[in-house]
Structure 1
Amino acid sequence: MAQTKPEKTVEWQGRQVPVWPMRTINYDLLLSQDPEEVDKVLKACLEDGYFQLNLDSIDGRRMLEDREQLLKLMNRFFDAPLEKKNEYGLIDSHLGYEPVGNRTGAFGAGSKDGYEMLKVSRDEIQQGSPRVPSPIKNSGDLHQLEQVIGSCNTITKVILAALSTGLGLAGKDRFENSHRNDRPSATTLSMMHYLPAEVTGQHKVGHQKHTDISSLTLLFSDQWGLQVRPPGECGALEMGFVEPKKNCAFVHVGDSLRFASGMKFQSCIHRVVPFDPTEHRYSIAYFLRAEDDTMFMDSEGRYVTAKDWHDQKFKAFTDPWFYQAQAPKTMILGGMIEAGADDPEPVAAYAPPPVQAPA
């Protein structure tokens, strides 16, 4: 599916920007290990590094319902006073609360991120008294978090199993065997709230360009704003939007799975920008990560554990831009090759008129 010309564009920041297509994978067929669907998801990971997963079936609709309930929980949490949300602060790189402006933003040097985020690790939620801020530390909310994490874990494991089958892996070489439920990992549910430009100002915008510190990322957002950079033979193509589809989730291949595949899989270069700067934007991301002690060779030829890679890349994420620019590109972009310039900064300080998404 790798393309050189977009079939569709949308106006953003005063210019026409590509809307890149994504393959759509049927979860119901994948759950049955349908050979044609296994082949489709394998090609998506080999050629693109991303796809959309259609969950509109008896097996997927529960996750869609859980997502709606989780959005209600997120609205209550993010509306709480800052001191309540930040009760524990950022406990660990994959656990706790981060306020707006902690990381580099969507437009590189001089910009900061425009979102606040709550992260709950899978390992933590399985404990008797998980460290979750008090606004949502009640039995109903904790049960909801547990349900969503359980559903996301099942969905991503089904994808992982299909990819193992597609590559002809067997026994201990299958990807699932480095993602066992009873082993420590940095697997995380992240809930993100992107604030309107009139609240954050011009210099706190979106989410910087990166590849994920994960094996697979299962991402839910019904609002425009996600941009990807499709891979190409001579470097990645122009950054462009992807269109949310009803009853679908986005799936990204992350660094760890790319490394585990011997660099066969692409890792998804993406960022988040304010498509409509006047709106509150919410997204839910489940980062399935390999067991902490999983060993692989990264794109610089180093043997590292999954935990070491996670910790090193997280530090690069949170470093000031000056230090990010000095770090190896494998840290932020996972060794993926890109060519061409992105737009360096937003055109307008605050909010231009809302842009209508294409019908």
Structure 2
Amino acid sequence: MAPSIDIPQTVEWQGKQVPVWSMQTIDYGLILSQDPSEIDKVTKACLEDGYFYLNLQSIDGRRMLSDQKDTLSLMKRFFDAPIEAKNEYGLISSHLGYEPVGSRTGAFGAGSKDGYEMLKVSRDEIQRGSPKVPSPIKNNGDLGLLENAIGSANTITKVILSALSTGMNLTGASRYENSHRNDRPSTTTLSMMHYLPSSVTGNDKVGHQKHTDISSLTLLFSEQWGLQIRPPGTCGAREMGFVAPRAGHAFVHVGDSLRFASGMKFQSCIHRVVPFDPSEHRYSIAYFLRAEDDTMFVDSEGRYITAGQWHDEKFKAFTDPWQWQAMAPGSMILGGMKEAGEDDPEGEPVAFQVEKTKEVAVEA
């Protein structure tokens, strides 16, 4: 059973007080040093919560913070480019390419749209040295910045993965990092997201649909409010609450693949993104560390499938119209995680509920 959560502070959002949920803070320098107490701490955080802050302010983590700043500058340049240049290749595959605004179901149920555009860069493509990235990045010499960011994020997430293997007393081939080898094909991706202001979308009820990630681990950076999570278990959490941005820290959470690999022991983080300040441009950077494509596990439907198959099926569910999402396996969007809260009336499918207030839509 998950421990009780401290009474959270709240912030006002859309006319009501919404929790700001607390969480553990893990020191990256201590994890890198394989400090036993920090390994126990991060393992406990993944078993009970499925998320934590990662303190990157030591000498070992500051390179990632620098790469994050460089990537943010790159993003602002890229997303300011004309749509024809950004969409030069379109969405090449599910983990590579550009997605225009309005490509997915939004955060406010049936009929709503996402309100963001996204550029995804495959780690495998970068490693091969011939990435298909749009001209505004290639022509500006920004490719090196992406290589640095992916390299730093890959190292950090692998260090955490190794610590979790140790914390779960895994040895030899059963250790998690042995299904995340750099030389094996995977859908590991750096995703850069730009959430547009309501003056552009025409609505302040847009955002990123509630879901769990396809990843093993997600390393997330954003300097702005908007990320919401739902704590798992019987901890009394009755609604989605915000994650407070914290300077010098990343937000790390467990995705479906690592939860499945742990035999459902780890929690997969239920989260979404909503417009906290509808007037601002919001930017976030997410590194999705994913298992090798041919890694086998039992998924939330009890099927024995590969990581690649789970990725493709769940990505299709993400991008399908909400009417089609209703036909996907019931546990697909939330990875089998259960929830019960006042923003999710009991008995309604959580992945595609119709909002109780007026339905909203955004022109793509």
TM-score range, shorter chain: over 0.9
Given residue 288 of structure 1, which amino acid in structure 2 is its aligned partner? L
The answer to whether the 8 A contact 2:112-2:360 is kept is no
1:152-191 equivalences under 5 Å are: 152-191=153-192
Matched, 1:214 2:253: no
What residue number does 2:227 align with? 226
2:76 partner letter: N
Range 225-234 or range 38-47, more displaced: 225-234
Aligned twin of 1:319: 320
8 Å contact from structure 1 (residues 234, 339) kept in 2: no
Structural mapping, 1:135-154, within 5 Å: 135-138=136-139, 140-154=141-155
What is the match of residue 102 of structure 1?
Answer: 103
SS, match of residue 63 in structure 2: helix
Q: Which runs of 4+ in 1 moved over 4 A?
A: 345-350
Show the counterpart of 1:355: none
How far 1:300 sits from its partner (Å)?
A: 1.4
- d(CA) in 1 for partners of 2:104, 2:325: 11
Check the 8 A contact 1:4/1:237 in 2, yes or no: no
SS at the partner of 1:140? coil
CA distance in 2, matches of 1:334, 1:15: 29
| Maintained 8 Å contact 1:185/1:292 | yes
Q: Is the 8 A contact 1:112 1:203 kept in 2?
A: no
SS of the residue 2:232 aligns to: coil
After superposing the two structures, state which structure 1 stretch, 322-331 or 158-167, moved more. Answer: 322-331
Residue 348 of structure 1 and its aligned partner are, at CA, apart by 11
Structure 1 residues 307, 300: CA separation in 2 closer, same or farther (over 3 Å shift)?
same
- Residue in 2 that maps onto 1:131: 132
The letter for the 1-side match of 2:336 is G
8 Å contact kept, 1:201–1:349: no
Whole-angstrom CA distance in 1 between matches of 2:240 and 2:196: 22
Q: 1:354 maps to which residue?
A: none
Structure 1 stretch 337-346 or stretch 169-178: which is displaced more?
337-346
In the alignment, the residues of structure 2 paired with residue 98 and residue 239 of structure 1 have an alpha-carbon distance, to the nearest angstrom, of: 26
In 2, the alpha carbon distance for the partners of 1:124 and 1:293 equals 18
Length-normalised TM-score, structure 1: 0.94
- Letter paired with 1:275: F
- Contact kept in structure 1, 2:222 and 2:285, CA below 8 Å: yes
TM-score (norm 2): 0.92
**Alpha-carbon distance change, 235 to 306 in structure 1, aligned in 2, over 3 angstroms:** farther
Indicate yes or no: 2:84 matched with 1:83: yes
> Which whole-Å deviations, capped at 9, do the CAs of 1:218-272 have from their partners, x for residues lacking one?
0000100000000023896410101111100000100000000000000000000
Alpha-carbon distance in 2 for matches of 1:3, 1:324: 33
Deviations 1:165-204 (A, max 9, x none): 0000000000000000000000000000000011112276
Write out aligned runs for 1:268-287 (5 A).
268-287=269-288
2:271 partner SS = strand
C-alpha distance in structure 2 between counterparts of 1:139 and 1:195, whole Å = 23
CA deviation after TM superposition for structure 1 residue 5, in Å: 6.6
The 2-side partners of 1:29 and 1:5 are apart by 25
Cα separation, partners in 2 of 1:139 and 1:33, compared to 1, 3 Å: farther
Structure 1 CA distance, aligned partners of 2:150 and 2:5?
Answer: 37
Alpha-carbon spacing, 1:348–1:333, altered in 2? closer, same or farther (3 Å): closer
Would you say the 8 A contact 2:225–2:245 is kept in 1? yes
Q: 313-322 or 194-203, which moves further after superposition?
A: 194-203
Alignment of 1:67-82 (within 5 A): 67-82=68-83
Query: In the alignment, is residue 17 of structure 1 matched against residue 11 of structure 2?
Result: no
Question: What residue in structure 2 maps to residue 356 of structure 1?
Answer: none
Shift of 1:324: 1.0
Work out the percentage of aligned pairs sharing the same amino acid. 77
Q: What are structure 2's unaligned runs of at least 5 residues?
A: 345-354
The letter of the residue matching 2:39 is: V
Alignment-derived partner of residue 336 in structure 2: 335
Counterpart in the other structure of 1:264: 265
Distance 1:257 1:197, change over 3 A: same
CA RMSD of aligned residues (A): 1.9
Paired residue secondary structure (2:68): helix
Deviation string, structure 1 residues 303-336 (Cα, Å, up to 9, x no partner)? 0100000000000000111111232232100000
The answer as to 2:32 corresponding to 1:43 is no
How many residues were matched structurally? Answer: 350
